[in-house]
């Protein structure tokens, strides 16, 4: 089975690395396309056996599964260009939350799915969020799940929860990186600890923290309780966090959902326009 990645930006590269490193898809069975072709060709230095194609038509003709790794508006444009060349037995997968399988179903005649990856997949861990289109059958769904299991923990989500789940799974690493970077900057400002030392300590702490959760030694709640002795130094520090950070993520999720709603309105309008053009 041949897989194609259309769009070799950040997440396209993550999927390329995850699929090949886990041997979910061998390099010889992977095809790449990018609007700026040189960016795709540059990846041959690291993945010498993948194929780079010069057109979307070639991608449609050679791939059984196509991953659309682009912004919402671009995914719709790509779908319209693919439409005359796609056969009903092929599978097209969007990696963007605001592009639902229903949107793809209205433009494309084939099977569709949505697979939202995370940068954590690059280390063959973390989650992938899956939604299946109405034309996929049980075998299609199992194939996608089994492929994703080789580099992640696949979780099926519906349209109502896809944005909230994506905020945690896909955006979460960026949010946590910001909080940790703020910790590093603050310790620089308030103590004599040098930045290089602080970065090393934070990175080591986060790796150990993740391992404690992975090995089920603690839950988030019990880990905090274990570290925070009543009346101790950690408790005093926690008081400051409760004042400054508590509920701050409420606004984060409000912002992401507002952006999501705006993107969905744009996608709905463009999908309707594309559907009318095809029917006309």
* Binding-site entries for NADP(+): 6-11
Angle at 257 between CA 253 and CA 261, to 5 degrees: 175
Asked if 76 and 264 touch (Cβ cutoff 8 Å), the reply is no
**Residues placed in the known binding site:** 6-11
Q: Which residues contact 272 (CB under 8 A, 6 or more apart)?
A: none
CA distance 88 to 109: 5
Q: Which residues contact 261 (CB under 8 A, 6 or more apart)?
A: none
Crossing angle between the packed helical segments 248-279 and 72-82, to the nearest 10 degrees: 20
Angle at 106 between CA 1 and CA 61, to 5 degrees: 30
CA distance 91 to 234: 52
Question: Under the phi-then-psi rule, with left for phi > 0, alpha for psi from -120 to 50, and beta for the rest, what region is 67?
Answer: beta
Partnered with residue 66 across adjacent β-strands are: 4, 92
């Amino acid at each position: 089975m041949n897989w194609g990645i259309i769009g070799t930006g950040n997440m396209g590269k993550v999927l390329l690395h995850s699929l090949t490193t886990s041997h979910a898809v061998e390099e010889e069975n992977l095809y790449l396309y990018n609007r700026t072709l040189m960016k795709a060709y540059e990846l041959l230095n690291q993945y010498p056996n993948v194929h780079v194609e010069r057109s979307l038509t070639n991608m449609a003709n050679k791939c059984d599964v196509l991953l659309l790794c682009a912004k919402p508006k671009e995914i719709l444009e790509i779908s319209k260009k693919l439409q005359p060349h796609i056969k009903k037995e092929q599978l097209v997968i969007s990696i963007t939350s605001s592009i639902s399988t229903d949107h793809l179903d209205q433009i494309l005649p084939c099977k569709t799915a949505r697979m939202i990856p995370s940068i954590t997949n690059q280390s063959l861990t973390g989650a992938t969020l899956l939604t299946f289109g109405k034309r996929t059958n049980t075998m299609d769904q199992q194939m996608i799940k089994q492929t994703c299991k080789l580099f992640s923990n696949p979780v099926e989500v519906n349209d109502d929860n896809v944005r909230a789940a994506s905020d945690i799974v896909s955006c979460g690493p960026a949010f946590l990186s910001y909080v940790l970077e703020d910790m590093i900057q603050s310790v620089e400002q308030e103590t004599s600890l040098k930045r290089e030392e602080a970065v090393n300590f934070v990175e080591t702490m986060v790796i150990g923290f993740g391992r404690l959760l992975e090995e089920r030694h603690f839950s988030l709640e019990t880990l905090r309780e274990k570290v925070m002795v009543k009346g101790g130094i950690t408790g005093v520090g926690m008081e400051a966090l409760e004042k400054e950070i508590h509920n701050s993520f409420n606004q984060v999720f409000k912002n992401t959902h507002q952006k999501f709603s705006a993107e969905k309105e744009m996608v709905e309008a463009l999908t309707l326009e594309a559907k009318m053009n095809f029917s006309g």
